[in-house]
Structure 1
Amino acid sequence: MKSMQSSRPIRPYDTVLISGCSSGIGLATAELLHQQGYQVIATYRKTEDLSRLEAYGFFGYIQLDLADSNSINQAWQKALELSNHKIYALFNNAAFGIPGALEDVSREALENQFQTNVFGTHQLTQLAVKHMLVHSGGRILQNSSVLGFIPMSLRGSYNASKFALEGLTATQRLELANDPIDLVLLQPGPIISQFRYNAHQNYLKWIADQPSRYEATYHNMTNRLTAETAPAPFTLPAEAVAEVALKALRAKRPKVQYPITVPTKVFHFIRRLLPARWLDYLLILASGGGKR
């Protein structure tokens, strides 16, 4: 079984590959790890993001689209070349959400959601595991969510993708229990990022143009997603997740999961206490999805 020691020094070849570094959690984590001495390989999806990222002086930059299997394979090979085949850690951060009631989410939309959040992430994880098994182990951080273990109305496709990620991670953690690879779940709650803006864009693409009995609810949801107001209570900056990612990388024996933000910690607690229907009622109130 894995070591019980509590801290681990950074080594010169500690290269970390991070998906989704154009903004938010990915960028904040890349910055912090770079400052702490890690060799950060930052990935981006859109070509126009490269020039901005290069200003940070990271170890390397690779274009990566998790919805494209060929892009994943090519990005991984480039990462191996950059790191001299010594990648210590992978941080699977890239993801997005398609907001909308599940009755309005088409099969095509759900498949699109899973292509990035689940299938692409799984493929990249597979490549990392095979590499780490023959290169003295390593660490894989999975950026999940409070919505990876708690459902909320109008977030069903994102919920499902994060529930799937947590299930895959938990299973693979068992399979690797006797190998020198740690799989760690980060579980943020509300974080200041581009997530709301991107969610609104996906709502417009996949949901907005079809008739729905949730029309009034969607109107209110759109107002929340596009409002330029102060963050909701308990919202933390992306740097809060970056600090936890650093902690998980530095630990000799990291925790299985790291709840981040007050809502995540509270829901971990109350889901063990409340009967299912009581919890449903609370989640309906919390998510604002019970009214049409």
Structure 2
Amino acid sequence: MKESILITGCSSGIGYHCAKQLHQAGYPVVASCRHPDDVRRLQNEGLHCVRLDLADPDSIQQGVTACLALTDGRIDVLFNNAAYGQPGALEDLPTDALRQQFETNLFGWHELTRTVIPLMLAQGGGKIVQNSSVLGLVAMKYRGAYNASKFALEGYTDTLRLELQDTPIHISLIEPGPIESRFRENAKQQFERHIDMAASRHQASYRNTLDRLGKTSPSSRFTLPPEAVLKPLQSIINSKQPKSRYYVTQPTYIFGFLRRVLPTIWLDKLLSKSD
């Protein structure tokens, strides 16, 4: 029997594509979404879908219980994917906005992961896959909250891998660069919600930020479709010994290399060119 898979953040983008394709390939997939309307939409499309809000510990526990009811009590693969980006200079960012970023992008993942680990130990194995980012390897301006959450995720996942190395649970990171999704649309909403642009010394740069976030065309020539993330996820599912890290998109390979070889001052000059 094929592995049962729980995927978070399936309303659109990477999560939606991976859930749909793996379901079509015959895997018992349970997608999860934060909003009930999205849960019903995916259910109407024939997917198993449960409500799971990573900012709500009770919702996480209820989501896992609902998932287990659909998978005969097993979760063989957990794909932690749900996340969003909070744009804005750190000096303009309310602490509550930073706290909310970590609540969804890290603390909720921790709550879900520590709920699933005992299940995987009891069933004799499993795989936990963390969808990180190139911005967990290098930082860019006006993305500080997201940068910080992904840098934290990298350290969290490396520690988790060390602590579980004597168990049959495998831990892997997927580190994409730009992927086609609603990420920019959602980020624009968060910017408008939390950043007082009129009171900031970064107004000129923010105009560029809003222009970038408002575009519907790919963010760069390196942007790839969600299929680019599905491929390493499939490799992890099919491998007896999955790798610790999977780079996705050319920018991840480039910046992963440059971070290792360039002095910090040179890397800063390169990264500072981006708004």
Give the TM bin, normalised by the shorter chain.
over 0.9
Q: 2:149 aligns with which of 161, 183, 186?
A: 161
The one of the two structures with greater contact order (alpha-carbon pairs below 8 A, sep at least 6) is: 1
How many correspondences in the alignment? 275
Which of 9, 14, 17 matches 1:28? 17
Counterpart of 1:57, as a letter, is: G
Deviation of residue 79 (structure 1)? Answer: 1.3
User: Which deviates the most, 225-234 or 253-262?
Assistant: 225-234
Q: How does the TM-score come out when normalised to structure 1?
A: 0.91
Indicate which of 94, 100, 106 corresponds to 2:94: 106
Instruction: Answer yes or no: is the 8 Å Cα contact 1:32–1:243 preserved in 2.
Output: no
Percent identity between matched residues is 49
Q: Which has the higher helix share?
A: 2
Q: Is the 8 A contact 2:212 2:219 kept in 1?
A: no
CA contact (8 A) 2:197 2:203 kept: no
- Correspondence for 2:255: 267
2:27 is the alignment partner of 1:38: yes
Q: Does 1:133 align with 2:133?
A: no
Which of 17, 36, 43 aligns to 1:47? It is 36
Q: Does 1:251 align with 2:239?
A: yes
Pair 1:150-2:150 in alignment = no
Cα distance in 2, alignment partners of residues 51 and 68 from structure 1: 19
Q: Within 2, Cα distance between the matches of 1:26 and 1:38?
A: 15
Using the TM superposition, give the Cα deviation of residue 262 of structure 1 relative to its aligned residue in structure 2, in angstroms: 0.2
TM-aligned CA deviation for residue 208 of structure 1:
3.7
Q: 1:57 aligns with which of 46, 55, 58?
A: 46
Q: Which amino acid in the other structure matches residue 38 of structure 2?
A: D
Is the 2:13–2:181 Cα contact (8 Å) retained in structure 1? Answer: yes
Q: Pick from 191, 197, 209: which aligns with 1:221?
A: 209
Structure 1 residue 233 and structure 2 residue 221: aligned?
yes
Partner of 2:8: 19
Give the aligned residue type for 2:62. Answer: Q
Cα distance in 2, alignment partners of residues 262 and 55 from structure 1: 36
* 1:165-219 deviation digits (Å, cap 9, x = unpaired): 1111100100011100011000000001000000000001111456100011111
Q: What is the distance in 1 between the residues matched to 2:86 and 2:53?
A: 17
Q: What is the CA distance between 1:55 and its match in structure 2?
A: 3.6
Correspondence for 1:5: none
1:48 Cα offset (Å): 1.4
TM-score if structure 2 supplies the norm length? 0.97
Aligned to 1:4: none
Unpaired runs of 5+ in structure 2? none
